[in-house]
């Protein structure tokens, strides 16, 4: 819009019970303008006559003023005379009045019972969708075993690269620091009893049985799970998943299985790598702070950590990997077809994966205790 | 939309020696043209000829490799931040898919530019947003989210948002694409109504012949191989008088195509 050359004015003059308002200058929405109440200046005329003799440029700013004037007249019972205004303005004012009268706010609020009911139905629906999705994945896995040539091996390798090799730096850093933290924390207690050397047992056992798989799972939930959800959510928004379905290609076989298997394979490898880095972190602190030689640390650790512990960690890692893959892919496929929907899917994938990992870890703790592992 | 009793004579848009491209690679070279105030101006051409690229460079989403763009006599390409911000208020843009903010209702989409650039009260902004949506035929849908309405409605809501600050110039990127003929026709009528009522200058990127012949005052035709303008003028005049086979092919393509010999 052009810059106003003369400011907007509403010159009002009261003659008897008639208020004449002459509109002049440029009335632009991005520039200051007089309000109707300012023009009225507390007067209560029975008739208002609006004129536009000195009017320059105008846009919606003028309409707002005139609409306010009309509204005031209606409420005050005054006659509003706009005959002197151009027809264009009349047409727009009519449009504005109509839109004002016909626009009814859409009430989205719901009462407590409806909200509870809706939430319950939503939980039921989500549970069914999750079960259906797992079923689809199992059927997809059966198809993969029957027809391995049809599997997207190239995608599988690429996903392994993306979720495995590319995650090494962040997994390294997190795992090393977890090892350091465990060693420091353990040292505080163990030192008091002269059992510094048992820091090796603490760090080793914690990393191999618990923290290696858990920390890798949390890192991958944030890194890979969110990426799966965002990618699949975007594909859904672009109707790419619809295109697969209409071509008779299962979206699960094409998109989900390669990702799921890639995580299932890479998670245990990353967890073992994480164990090594965590132990290294603990070893570094033991050497620097507790003056325990690396060889002594290693030998001590091997007295308590054995293959069954490593197996426990690996089993957990495989399950955590599948959980992350399932949560990421399900949330992506279920995403709403909008930018906000994709964002929500990514967030939900991370939250779901971490929640399920923690729950699964607790189940594993009880199960392995019963099994004596 | 400002109606003006004494508007300056400078053209609405003045493009001089504009070279558009990405990463130093030119897509369109040395374009020069002007758009008069109140004109319905079409940028036409086949797919991939650079229509949308030109639009992105005109509205400042991509910096030009060379050349200048002036809006209402003021340079946009060389403007400092404050001047640029001021010039941004002179035009509105309707993007191809509407580009509505999905987390906001239609009313909030239209209201946001008003909240950012004016000192209007919340009630006034609400009135204006309602009016703008009514002008594009979306009364009753003010509180719907973009995901809850159809593609054509999204485009109309996008147009209402583009008009929220009453700009002098409105750019429309493929307004008819993906719309049925009736909705497309209504959108064309809306464009003409905007021009007639408010004297708005409209720059439309399109390859829809019905719209081109229906509402365009003047067109420029772009060509991928030429990397520039190959024809300029009123569409009917070009269709009747141009001898360029590319122009003839494009503007007469509604003729029944012959089945290729197998």
- Residue A169's pLDDT band (cuts 50, 70, 90): very high
A290 domain-assigned: yes
pLDDT digits (tens, 9 = 90+) for A128-148: 998 999 999 999 999 999 989
**A33: CATH:** 3.30.750.24
Instruction: Please report the pLDDT score of residue B7 as a whole number.
Output: 43
Domain boundary among A80, A99, A118: A99
Residues A297, A197 share a domain: yes
Q: What is the pLDDT of residue B262?
A: 57
Q: Is A140 in contact with A252 (CB distance < 8 Å)?
A: yes
Average pLDDT value over all residues in chain B: 87
Is this prediction's ipTM beyond 0.90? no
| Residues A227 and A356 placed together within one structural domain of the fold | yes
Q: Specify if A2 maps to a domain.
A: no
Clarify whether residues A269 and A345 are in a common domain: yes
Q: Are strands B169-173 and A79-81 parallel, antiparallel or unpaired?
A: unpaired
- Taking CA–CA distances from A108, the nearest residue in chain B reads B143
- Bridge partner residues of A58 (DSSP): A27, B3
Say yes or no for a CB contact (<8 Å) between B130 and A337.
no
Shared domain for A86 and A189, answered yes or no, is: no
Mean pLDDT, chain A, rounded, equals 91
Greater confidence, B4 or B240?
Answer: B240
Q: Which of A203, A367, A178 is nearest to A292 (CA)?
A: A203
Task: Kindly state whether residue A267 falls inside one of the protein's structural domains.
Answer: yes
Within a domain: residue A24? Answer: yes
Is the confidence at residue B6, as pLDDT, over 50? no
Count of the separate structural domains present in chain A: 2
Whether the per-residue pLDDT at B171 is higher than 50: the answer is yes
Nearest CB partner across the interface for A1, out of B90, B102, B142? B90
Tell me how far CA of residue A68 lies from CA of A21, A46, A94, A121, in angstroms: 13, 16, 13, 47
| A1 part of a folded domain | no
Nearest to B110 by CA among B82, B131, B83: B131
Q: How far apart are the first and last CA of chain B?
A: 54
Q: How far is CA B212 from CA B186, B207, B215, in A?
A: 14, 7, 6
Q: pLDDT band at residue A30, thresholds of 50, 70 and 90?
A: confident
Cα–Cα distance measured from residue B13 to residue B73, given in angstroms and rounded to the nearest whole number: 8
| Residue numbers of the domain that contains A43 | 9-99
A92 assigned to some structural domain: yes
Q: Among A99, A115, A148, identify where a domain stops.
A: A99
| B31 pLDDT above the threshold of 90 | yes
Q: How many Å lie between the alpha carbon of B119 and the closest alpha carbon of chain A?
A: 8
- Asked if the C-beta of B119 comes within 8 angstroms of chain A's C-beta atoms, the answer is yes
Report pLDDT digits (tens) over B209-225: 888 999 999 999 999 99
Q: What is the pLDDT of residues A80-94, one digit of tens each?
A: 998 888 888 888 888
Whole-angstrom Cα distance, residue B162 to residue B170? 7
Q: Is the pLDDT of residue A58 over 50?
A: yes
Residues A72 and A157 in one domain: no
Position A107 in a domain:
no
Best of A3, A28, A59 to mutate (most B CBs within 10 Å, chain B): A59
Same domain for A145 and A201?
yes
In a domain, A158, yes or no: yes
Predicted confidence band at B258 (pLDDT cuts at 50, 70, 90)? Answer: low
Residues A294 and A356 in one domain: yes
**Chain B residues within an 8 Å CB radius of A2:** 2, 4, 7-8, 72, 90, 168
pLDDT tier for residue B4 given thresholds of 50, 70 and 90 = very low
**CA dist., res. A209 & res. A373, Å (int):** 10
pLDDT of A247 strictly over 80: no
CB-based contact A215:A175 (threshold 8 Å): yes
In chain B the beta strands, taken as DSSP E runs, fall at 13-22, 25-35, 40-44, 66-71, 74-75, 91-94, 169-173, 201-205, 218-223, 228-233
**For residue range A194-216, what is the model confidence (pLDDT) as tens digits?**
888 999 999 999 999 999 999 99
Same domain, A253 and A325: yes
Spell out a b/e string for A127-143, using b for 16 or more CB atoms within 10 Å of the CB, else e. eeeeeebeebbeebeeb
Q: Are residues A95 and A149 in the same domain?
A: no
């Amino acid at each position: 819009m052009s810059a106003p050359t003369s400011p907007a004015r509403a010159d009002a003059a009261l003659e008897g019970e008639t208020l004449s308002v002459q509109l002049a200058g440029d009335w632009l929405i991005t520039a200051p303008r007089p309000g109707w109440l300012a023009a009225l200046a507390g007067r209560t005329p029975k008739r208002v006559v609006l004129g536009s003799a000195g009017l320059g440029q105008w846009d919606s700013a003028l309409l707002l003023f005139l609409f306010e004037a009309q509204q005031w007249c209606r409420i005050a019972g005054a006659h509003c005379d706009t005959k002197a205004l151009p027809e264009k303005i009349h047409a727009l004012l009519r449009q504005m009045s109509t839109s004002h009268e016909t626009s009814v706010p859409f009430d989205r609020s719901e009462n407590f019972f409806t909200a509870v009911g809706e939430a319950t139905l939503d939980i039921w629906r989500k549970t069914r969708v999750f079960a259906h999705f797992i079923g689809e994945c199992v059927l997809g896995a059966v198809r993969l075993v029957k027809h391995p040539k049809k599997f997207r091996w190239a995608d599988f390798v690429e996903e392994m690269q993306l979720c495995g090799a590319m995650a090494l730096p962040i997994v390294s850093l997190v795992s090393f620091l977890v090892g350091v933290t465990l060693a420091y924390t353990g040292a505080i207690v163990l030192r008091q009893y002269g059992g510094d050397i048992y820091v090796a047992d603490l760090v080793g056992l914690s990393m191999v049985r618990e923290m290696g798989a858990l920390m890798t799972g949390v890192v991958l939930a944030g890194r890979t799970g969110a990426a799966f959800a965002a990618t699949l959510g975007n594909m859904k928004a672009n109707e790419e998943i619809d295109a697969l379905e209409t071509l008779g290609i299962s979206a699960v076989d094409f998109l989900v299985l390669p990702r799921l298997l890639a995580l299932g394979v890479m998670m245990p490898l990353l967890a073992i790598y994480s164990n090594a880095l965590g132990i290294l972190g603990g070893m570094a602190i033991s050497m620097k702070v507790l003056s325990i030689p690396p060889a002594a640390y290693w030998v001590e650790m091997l007295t308590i950590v054995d293959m069954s512990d490593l197996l426990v960690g690996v089993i957990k890692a495989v399950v955590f990997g599948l959980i992350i893959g399932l949560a990421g892919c399900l949330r992506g496929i279920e995403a709403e077809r909008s930018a906000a929907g994709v964002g929500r899917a990514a967030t939900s994938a991370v939250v779901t994966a971490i929640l399920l990992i923690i729950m699964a870890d607790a189940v594993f703790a009880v199960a392995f205790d019963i099994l004596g592992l | 939309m400002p109606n003006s009793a004494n508007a300056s004579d400078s053209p609405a848009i003045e493009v001089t020696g504009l070279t558009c491209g990405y990463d130093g690679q030119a897509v369109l070279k040395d374009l020069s043209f002007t758009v008069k105030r109140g004109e319905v101006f079409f940028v036409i051409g086949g797919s991939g000829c650079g229509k949308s690229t030109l639009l992105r460079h005109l509205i400042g989403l991509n910096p030009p490799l060379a050349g200048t763009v002036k809006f209402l006599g003021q340079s946009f390409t060389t403007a400092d931040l404050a001047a640029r911000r001021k010039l941004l208020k002179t035009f509105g843009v309707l993007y191809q898919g509407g580009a509505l903010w999905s987390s906001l209702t239609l009313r909030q989409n239209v209201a946001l530019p008003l909240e950012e650039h004016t000192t209007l009260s919340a009630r006034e902004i609400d009135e204006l947003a309602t009016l703008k949506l009514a002008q594009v035929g979306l009364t009753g849908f003010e509180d719907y989210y973009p995901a809850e309405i159809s593609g054509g409605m999204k485009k109309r809501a996008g147009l209402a948002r583009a008009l929220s600050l009453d700009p002098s110039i409105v750019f429309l990127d493929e307004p008819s694409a993906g719309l049925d003929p009736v909705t497309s026709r209504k959108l064309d009528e809306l464009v003409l109504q905007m021009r007639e009522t408010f004297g708005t200058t409209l720059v439309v990127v399109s390859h829809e012949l019905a719209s081109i012949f229906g509402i365009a005052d003047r067109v420029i035709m772009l060509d991928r191989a030429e990397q520039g303008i190959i024809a300029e003028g009123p569409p009917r005049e070009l269709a009747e008088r141009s001898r360029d086979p590319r122009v003839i092919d494009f503007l007469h393509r509604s003729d029944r195509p012959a089945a290729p010999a197998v």
